């Protein structure tokens, strides 16, 4: 039998315990299951593996993949190959953290409650918001929950989302809205950024929220000044999706009047993991705090006046409010939020800024070199953070296959999401990419076809 | 025991640094050329400045102020806090899994796709379902996804009048919350005297507006719904579907399957049943399985196998779309897959058997000192009612806090709602008889303490790093972030 080493009961234990219970056999304990639905055979699963065999099997599966450590990656589109300091895995690997559950019992959960309280503060510092929650599943679900929150706060049922918001996020958003019977309209783009004139035209008193992303899906920094005025004029809320790693450099959304800030926090020390676990960021103005979904850690005192932390505002949540809760979220991404907090603590303001600057400088360098090549065109002008869209002289899939021969993971093919953009790829550069690696990419692109 | 702990913002000093980065080696451009003034952050970012050793000491100290499964017994009901095998943690961080970009060409991620494919086969078999999606990131996310699938199914048939979902009063809070998220109205179904869903009451509320019944079986009372087949028939006859909340699947693996009970949609919590850790509250993974008639609506993409090659199938015209940006919490699925492969069919069945033995054994021991309503066989959990104790001056929360002083994580408090002063207790299969005996002893002591000096129990905990925390104050005067004085 597999997994014996996880099952402490011996046969003798079982016999003694069954006798204490007052039944003759294990089967007796299952006699309340109607005969008609009892499984009359053994489950048909692959044979059990010992620990050694399991490691071999999983290692063999892992070896069939080409991981980012084995090649040079220029893939982005929401998930990036950033450097992760060793400190992080040593903290998240503390079993007092990773083997615990949601901190329902505050007195023995002060560790994670304080860490989350600190994380919330860091997210507020980054975004210029007043409150943040303990995490959502990922950037896509954070956008969707932010939009639902916007509808709740305004009692309106329509959201406007820019086409420059990640198509991955819009897919999740439109699904959530469709299910709930909420209305979603897309704001068209102009030169790869939200068309401000259209936005102005579309927003009215039926609109709950306007959802923008900066840096947007094409890596472009959107012009945000003035947007909030238009949105607020109609008493709608401005929701901004952002990459937290851009914020040491960029104007924080709080400065230009955002009401709710969401985003993908994978940049903050989280491995790409084939797209999950990721980290949904959610922050807002204080006036929306009772509309926030999910867990929030709050400061309080114990009976002797000592500072301590508890899960705050639980009356918003499903375990108390049931169908009237602000969201159904229960399990979140707490351990990933802890990783992000450790990342921010380790990097500090200087390190965060340095990473952001290197990303930006390297993207500028790569963009200039690549778009100087014959047949490669910059799709949209503007200021890029760490990625940029390029029209390439052929099928992106074929180009990526050619690059793979040289151990390069090329760009993300974004043509499927924007039919008007034929043969267009998104190239991302993080602080990990060296000048030499970028030059090699440029050489390979030049030599292709 | 009381130990104050500084916030990270109260530590460190300007000029300290905990990182090391290589020099930028591309020719630098003036920042003004890359970013106009109007787009720049004007105030410097206010984050702590710490050396690496300070960071490590801070978080290590925080970790000592936390209680996990590795610290001790954690009988939190409906959360299945089983041991998290260490080997799972090791395989999940293999670079071949953790360092994969979700947009890599399929040829470069065949191993990851094979893992998804294999896991799906295992989950299909364990639950009796046709296909699974791994996209939902948690149990509640799975519930929402499942309801979206049910909605898509009805809508596809042109059946738009089904706007209600039936939810038993004993259901997890996420169930009604998910129903609202999916735009449905919740209809609550009461329980009968045996603790089952009241079949007659169910018959009364089921009609042509019923979209689905959501059910946890065994229920949060730890009781198997004995009339499940009748319930399924009532709902199906009216054109509704059955949704299975898999939070309590740990009780029945290898004994019965949701698919065989008549359920059309199932979610599992891989972070409960399949041993992936809970990580202070997440990440989890809530795969959703469906019967054949719901397959066309599953989120894109599905992982398919052709000859020896795996590929993502986006060609599902009736699909609801996506519920997560990529393919779900892959890292969690890796851990769960490793567990399923190590347990095998016999191991999983024994896990459920032992979980049920432990639950019935502990209930038998506690019954001598506490009231446990519904005197019948339990599955993996049972609910103590501390109503008599509350009358003496120390209720469920006080007993819970007294357990903290004795080194145990308490059960889930005040749930399910139909039991007064509930302590929902789930001792899973990875706990030894000695641990259960020690817990029962502690509960007996607490019962005695309440007889002798209820106030002592009501003022617990006495030996934790902070005393009983003031939740009312936190609610009335929320302080949700640190601020510079």
The pTM for the full model equals: 0.98
A139 with A280, same domain? yes
Indicate whether B476 belongs to any domain.
no
Assess B484–A contact: CB distance below 8 Å, yes or no: no
Distance CA A261, CA A246 (A): 13
Q: Is B147 exposed, middle or buried (0-12, 13-18, 19+ CB in 10 A)?
A: buried
| Same domain assignment for residues A238 and A323 | yes
Whether residue A162 contacts residue A186, with contact meaning beta carbons closer than 8 Å, is answered with yes
Identify whether B148 is part of a domain. Answer: yes
- ipTM value, please give it: 0.98
Q: Both B339 and B357 in a single domain?
A: no
- A240 and A353 belong to one structural domain: no
CATH code at A368? 3.90.1150.10
The residue among B294, B326, B343 that closes a domain is B343
Q: What is the mean pLDDT of residues A157-181?
A: 97
A142 within some domain: yes
Structure tokens at A422: 């034929």
B38 to A400: CB separation less than 8 angstroms, yes or no:
no
Q: Which pair of structure tokens corresponds to residue A448?
A: 């292709």
CA distance A331 to A316: 15
Judged on CB neighbours under 10 Å (0-12, 13-18, 19+), B98 is: buried
B-chain CB neighbours of A345 within 8 Å are 8, 18, 47-48, 50, 55, 58-59
Q: Which of B74, B389, B255, B433 is nearest to A21 (CA)?
A: B433
CA distances from A78 to A264, B171, B326 (A): 7, 36, 10
How many whole angstroms separate alpha carbon A420 and alpha carbon B265?
38
Chosen for mutation from A26, A35, A55, A61 (greatest number of chain B CBs closer than 10 Å) is A61
Please provide the size of chain B in residues. Answer: 485
Share of chain B above pLDDT 90, in %: 98
pLDDT reading at B333 higher than 80: yes
What are φ and ψ of residue B258, in 5° steps?
A: -55, -40
Q: Given strand B131-133, what is the order of strands in its sheet? A: B131-133, B288-290, B265-268, B241-246, B210-215, B164-168, B185-189
Strand A237-242 and strand A207-213: pairing? parallel
Please give the share of chain A, as a percent, with pLDDT higher than 70.
100
Both A91 and A76 in one domain: the answer is: no
Q: Please check whether residues B267 and B145 belong to one and the same domain.
A: yes
Nearest-angstrom CA–CA distance, A161 and B301: 23
- Using a CB-CB cut-off of 8 Å, the residues of chain A touching B478 are 289, 298, 312-313
Domain count, chain A: 2
Query: Are B356 and B276 within one domain?
Result: no
Same domain, A206 and A229: yes
Instruction: Name the pLDDT band for A289 (thresholds 50, 70, 90).
Output: very high
* Separation between Cα atoms, residue B144 and residue B212, nearest integer Å: 13
From A48, A66, A351, residue closest to B343, measured CB to CB: A48
Q: Would you say residue B132 lies in a domain?
A: yes
Whether B225 and B213 share a structural domain: yes
Task: State the best of B52, B101, B105, B119 to mutate against chain A, taking most chain A CBs within 10 Å.
Answer: B101
The tally of domains found in chain B comes to 3
Contact B283 A335 (CB under 8 A): yes
**Preceding peptide of B79 cis, ω within 30°:** no
Is there a single domain that holds both residue B398 and residue B292?
no
Pairwise CA distance, residues A114 & A208, whole Å: 34
A33 assigned to some structural domain: no
Q: Is position A48 within any domain?
A: no
Answer whether residue A316 is part of any domain.
yes
Q: How far apart are CA A432 and CA A362, in angstroms?
A: 10
Do A221 and A366 have their domain in common? no
Say how many C-beta atoms besides its own lie within 10 A of residue B16's C-beta.
Answer: 15
Give A365's pLDDT tier (boundaries 50, 70, 90).
Answer: very high
- What's the confidence (pLDDT) of residue A354? 97
Taking alpha carbons only, the member of A127, A79, A126, A149 closest to residue A294 is: A149
Nearest one of A119, A128, A120, A133 to A258, comparing CA atoms:
A128
- B211 and B324, same structural domain? yes
Would residue B1 count as lying in a domain?
Answer: no
Quick check: A341 and A122 in contact, CB under 8 A?
yes
Q: Tell whether B463 lies on the interface with A, counting CB pairs under 8 A.
A: no
CA distance B71 to B442: 17
Alpha-carbon gap, residue B256 to B126, rounded angstroms: 9
pLDDT of residue A318: 85
Residue A162 dihedral angles phi and psi, to the nearest 5°: -70, 145
Tell whether B72 is covered by a domain.
no
What is the predicted pLDDT for the residue at A321? 87
Same domain, A334 and A408: no
The stretch B130-143 carries a mean pLDDT of 98
**One domain, residues B181 and B195:** yes
Q: What domain range includes position A433?
A: 72-83+349-447
- Encode pLDDT of A186-221 as tens digits: 999 999 999 999 999 999 999 999 999 999 999 999
Q: By the 8 A CB rule, do B40 and A224 touch?
A: no
- Rounded distance between C-alpha atoms, residue B250 and residue B264, angstroms: 19
CB-CB neighbors (< 8 A) of A33 in chain B = 224, 252, 255-256
Q: Smallest Cα–Cα separation from B419: which of B444, B395, B443, B450?
A: B395
> Order of strands across the sheet with B422-425?
B382-385, B422-425, B412-413
- Cis peptide upstream of residue B86 (ω within 30 degrees of 0): no
Partner A contacted by B69 (CB < 8 A): yes
Q: Most A CBs within 10 Å: which of B59, B174, B353, B367, as the mutation test of the A interface?
A: B59
Report the pLDDT value the prediction gives residue B1, as an integer from 0 to 100. 63
Cβ atoms < 10 Å from Cβ of A423: 19
- Residue A324: its pLDDT value, please? 87
**Average pLDDT for B310-327:** 97
Closest to B97 (Cα-Cα) out of B389, B397, B335: B335
CA distance A351 to B49: 10
Bridge partners (DSSP) listed for residue A427: A388
Strands A280-284 and A260-264 turn out to be antiparallel
Last residue of a domain, one of A327, A342, A357: A342
> Is B369 found in the same domain as B323?
no
Residue A279 and residue A137 share a domain: yes
Examine residue B180 and state whether it is found in any structural domain, yes or no: yes
Size of interface A-B (CB pairs under 8 A): 715
Contact at CB, B102 and A275, closer than 8 angstroms: yes
DSSP B369: T
Closest CA to A122 of A341, A279, A342: A341
Is there a domain that residue A6 lies in? no
pLDDT at A449: 77
Partners of B133 in beta bridges: B288
CATH of the domain at A132: 3.40.640.10
What CATH code is carried by the domain that includes residue B167? 3.40.640.10
Chain-chain contact of B108 with A404 (C-beta, under 8 angstroms): yes
Which whole-number Å values give the CA distances from A41 to A9, B253, B255, in the listed order?
24, 12, 9
Inter-chain CB proximity B475 and A313 less than 8 Å:
yes
B384 touches chain A (CB under 8 A): no
Does residue A395 share a domain with residue A299?
Answer: no
- State the DSSP code for B420: T
The 3-state secondary structure of chain A, one letter per residue: CCCHHHCCCCHHHHHHHHHHHCCCCHHHHCCCCCHHHECCCCCCCCCCCCHHHHHHHHHHHHHCECCCCCCEECCCCCCCCCCCCHHHHHHHCCHHHHCCCCCCCHHHEHHHHHHHHHHHHHHHHHHCCCEECCCECCHHHHHHHHHHHHHHHHCCCEEEEECCCCHHHHHHHHHHHHHHCCEEEEECEECCEECHHHHHHHCCCCEEEEEEECCCCCCECCCCCCHHHHHHHCCCEEEEEECHHHCCCECCHHHHCCCEEEEECCCCCCCCHHHCCCCEEEEECHHHHHHCCCCCEEEEEECCCCEEEEECCHHHCHHHHHHHCCCCCCCCCHHHHHHHHHHHHHHHHHHHHHHHHHHHHHHHHHHHHHHCCCCCEECCCCCECCEEEEECCCCHHHHHHHHHHCCEECCEECCCCCCCCCCEEEEECCCCCCHHHHHHHHHHHHHCC
Are B110 and B244 members of one domain? yes
Structure letter (DSSP) for residue B317: T
> Which residues of chain B have a CB within 8 Å of the CB of A308?
466, 469
Do A141 and A275 belong to one domain?
Answer: yes
Summarize pLDDT for B347-372 with one digit per residue, the tens. Answer: 999 999 999 999 999 999 999 999 99
Same domain, B467 and B438: yes
Is residue A30 in some structural domain?
no
Looking up residue B445, the CATH number of its domain turns out to be 3.90.1150.10
Which domain-ending residue is among A342, A367, A385? Answer: A342
- Per the omega criterion (within 30 degrees of 0), is the bond before B302 cis? no
Confidence of residue B4 (pLDDT cuts 50, 70, 90): confident
Boundary residue ending a domain (A342, A364, A379): A342
Question: Which tokens hold the place of B53?
Answer: 């050793």
Identify the pLDDT of residue A363. Answer: 98
- Judged by CB atoms closer than 8 Å, whether chains meet at B68 and A99 is answered as yes
CB atoms within 10 A of CB A142: 32
Question: How far lies A411's CA from each of A402, A423, A447, B456, in Å?
Answer: 12, 11, 16, 65
Q: Which of A291, A322, A437 to mutate to test the interface with B (most CBs of B within 10 A)?
A: A322
- Please check the confidence at residue B58 and state whether its pLDDT lies above 80: yes
The structure tokens listed for A313 are: 């505002």
Q: Give per-residue pLDDT as tens, A20-61.
A: 999 999 999 999 999 999 999 999 999 999 999 999 999 999
How large a percentage of chain B has pLDDT more than 70? 100
Q: Which of B318, B343, B368 is the last residue of a domain?
A: B343
Considering the domain boundaries, does residue A213 fall inside one? yes
**CA–CA separation, A173 and A185 (whole Å):** 11
Same-domain check for residues B116 and B206: yes
Is A282 part of a structural domain of the chain? yes
Which residues in chain A are closer than 8 Å to B224, comparing Cβ atoms?
A: 32-33
Cβ distance of A364 and B29 shorter than 8 Å: yes
Q: Is residue B246 a contact partner of residue B200, using CB atoms and an 8 Å limit?
A: no
Q: Regarding beta strands B241-246 and B210-215, do their DSSP bridges make them parallel or antiparallel, or are they unpaired?
A: parallel
Nearest to B480 among A16, A61, A312 (CB): A312
Do A117 and A235 share a domain, yes or no?
yes
> How far off is chain A from B279, nearest CA to CA, in Å?
4
**Residue A284 in contact with residue A261, Cβ under 8 Å?**
yes
What is the domain extent for residue B51? 8-64
Residue B478 lies in a domain: no
> In chain A, which residues have their Cβ closer than 8 Å to the Cβ of B458?
none
Taking only the tens place, the pLDDT of each residue in B274-292 is: 999 999 999 999 999 999 9
pLDDT band for position A277 (50/70/90)? Answer: very high
Q: Which whole number is the average pLDDT over B103-115?
A: 97
Rounded Cα–Cα distance for residues A279 and A281 (Å):
6
pLDDT of res. A151: 97
Q: How far apart are CA A400 and CA A408, in angstroms?
A: 8
Pair (A126, A181) in one structural domain: yes
CB contact under 8 A, B68 and A96: yes
Q: Are B242 and B211 in contact (CB under 8 A)?
A: no
Residue B484 has pLDDT above 90, yes or no: no
User: Beta strand pairing status for B288-290 and B302-306?
Assistant: unpaired
Q: pLDDT band at A320, cuts 50/70/90?
A: confident
CA dist A184 and A173 (Å) reads: 9
User: In this structure, is residue B359 part of a structural domain?
Assistant: yes
Looking at beta carbons, which residues of chain B come within 8 Å of A213? none
What does residue A405 show for φ and ψ, rounded to 5 degrees?
Answer: -60, -30
């Amino acid at each position: 039998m597999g997994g014996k080493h996880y099952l402490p009961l011996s046969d003798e234990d079982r016999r003694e315990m069954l006798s204490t219970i007052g039944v003759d056999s294990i089967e007796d304990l299952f006699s309340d299951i109607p005969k008609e639905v009892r499984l009359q055979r053994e489950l048909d699963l692959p044979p059990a593996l010992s620990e050694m065999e399991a490691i071999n099997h999983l290692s063999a599966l892992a070896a069939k993949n080409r991981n980012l450590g084995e090649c040079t990656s220029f893939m982005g589109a929401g998930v990036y190959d950033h450097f992760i300091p060793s400190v992080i895995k040593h903290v998240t690997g503390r079993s007092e953290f990773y083997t615990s559950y949601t901190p329902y019992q505050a007195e023995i959960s002060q560790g994670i409650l304080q860490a989350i309280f600190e994380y919330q503060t860091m997210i507020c510092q980054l975004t210029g918001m007043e409150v943040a929650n303990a995490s959502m599943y990922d950037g896509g679900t954070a956008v969707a929950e932010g939009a639902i929150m916007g509808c709740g706060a305004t009692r309106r049922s329509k959201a406007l989302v820019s086409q420059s918001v990640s198509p991955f996020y819009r897919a999740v958003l439109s699904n959530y809205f469709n299910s709930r019977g909420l209305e979603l309209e897309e704001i068209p783009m102009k030169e790869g950024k939200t068309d401000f004139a259209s936005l102005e035209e579309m927003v009215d008193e039926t609109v709950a929220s306007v959802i923008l992303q900066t840096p947007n899906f094409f890596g472009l920094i959107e012009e945000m000044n003035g947007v909030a005025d238009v949105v607020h004029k109609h008493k709608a809320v401005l929701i901004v999706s952002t990459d937290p790693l851009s914020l040491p450099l960029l104007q924080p959304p709080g400065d230009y009047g955002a009401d709710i800030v969401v985003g993908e926090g994978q940049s903050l020390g989280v491995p790409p993991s084939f797209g999950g676990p990721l980290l949904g960021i959610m922050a807002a103005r204080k006036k929306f705090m009772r509309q926030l979904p999910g867990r929030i850690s709050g400061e309080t005192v114990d009976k002797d006046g000592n500072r301590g932390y508890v899960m705050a505002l639980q009356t918003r949540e499903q375990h108390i409010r049931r169908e009237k809760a602000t969201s159904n979220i229960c399990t979140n991404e707490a351990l990933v939020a802890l990783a992000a907090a450790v990342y921010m603590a380790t990097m500090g303001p200087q390190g965060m800024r340095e990473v952001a600057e290197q990303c930006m400088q390297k993207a500028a360098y790569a963009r200039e070199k690549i778009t100087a090549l014959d047949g490669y065109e910059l799709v949209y002008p503007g200021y890029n953070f760490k990625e940029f869209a390029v029209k390439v002289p052929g099928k992106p899939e074929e180009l990526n296959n050619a690059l793979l021969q040289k151990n390069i993971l090329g760009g993300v093919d974004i043509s499927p999401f924007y039919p008007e953009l034929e043969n267009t790829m998104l190239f991302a550069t993080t602080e990990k990419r060296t000048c030499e690696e970028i030059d090699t990419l440029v050489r390979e692109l030049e030599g292709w076809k | 025991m009381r130990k104050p702990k500084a916030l990270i913002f109260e530590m460190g000093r300007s000029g300290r640094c905990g990182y090391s980065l290589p020099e930028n080696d591309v020719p630098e451009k003036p920042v003004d050329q890359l970013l106009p003034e109007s787009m720049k952050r004007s105030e410097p970012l206010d984050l702590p400045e710490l050396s690496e050793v300070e960071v490590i000491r801070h978080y290590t100290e925080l970790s000592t102020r936390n209680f996990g499964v590795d610290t001790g017994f954690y009988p939190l009901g409906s959360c299945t806090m089983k041991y998290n095998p260490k080997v799972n943690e090791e395989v999940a961080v293999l670079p071949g899994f953790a360092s994969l970009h979700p947009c890599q060409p399929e040829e470069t991620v065949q191993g990851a796709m094979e893992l998804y494919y294999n896991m799906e086969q295992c989950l299909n078999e364990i639950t009796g379902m046709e296909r699974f999606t791994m996209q939902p990131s948690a149990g509640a996310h799975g519930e929402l996804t499942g309801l979206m699938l049910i909605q898509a199914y009805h809508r596809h048939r042109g059946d738009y009048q089904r706007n209600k979902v039936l939810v038993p009063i004993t259901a997890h809070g996420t169930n009604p919350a998910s129903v609202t998220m999916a735009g449905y109205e919740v209809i609550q179904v009461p329980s009968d005297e045996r603790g089952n869903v009241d079949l007659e009451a169910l018959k009364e509320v089921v009609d042509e507006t019923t979209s689905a019944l959501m059910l946890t079986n065994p229920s949060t009372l730890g009781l198997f719904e004995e009339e499940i087949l009748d319930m399924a028939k009532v709902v199906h006859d009216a054109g509704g579907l059955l949704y299975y909340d898999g939070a309590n699947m740990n009780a029945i693996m290898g004994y019965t399957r949701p698919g065989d009970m008549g359920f059309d949609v199932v979610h599992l919590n891989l972070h409960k049943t399949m041993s992936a850790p809970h990580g202070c509250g997440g990440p989890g993974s809530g795969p959703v399985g469906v019967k054949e008639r719901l397959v066309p609506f599953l989120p894109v993409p599905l992982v398919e196998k052709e000859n020896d090659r795996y590929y993502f199938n986006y060609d599902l015209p009736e699909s609801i779309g996506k519920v997560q940006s990529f393919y779900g919490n892959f890292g969690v699925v890796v851990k769960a897959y490793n567990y399923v492969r190590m347990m095998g069919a016999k191991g999983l069945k024994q896990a459920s058997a032992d979980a049920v033995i432990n639950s019935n054994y502990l209930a038998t021991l506690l019954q001598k000192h506490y009231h446990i309503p519904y005197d019948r066989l339990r599955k993996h959990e049972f609910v103590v009612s501390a109503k008599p104790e509350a009358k003496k001056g120390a209720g469920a929360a006080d007993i819970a806090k007294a357990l903290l002083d004795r080194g145990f994580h308490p059960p889930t408090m005040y749930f399910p709602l139909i039991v007064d002063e509930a302590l929902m207790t789930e001792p899973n299969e990875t706990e030894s008889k000695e641990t259960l005996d020690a817990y029962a002893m502690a509960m007996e002591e607490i019962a005695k303490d309440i007889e002798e000096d209820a106030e002592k129990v009501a003022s617990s905990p006495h030996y934790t790093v902070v005393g009983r925390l003031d939740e009312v104050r936190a609610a009335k005067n929320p302080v949700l972030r640190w601020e510079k004085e």
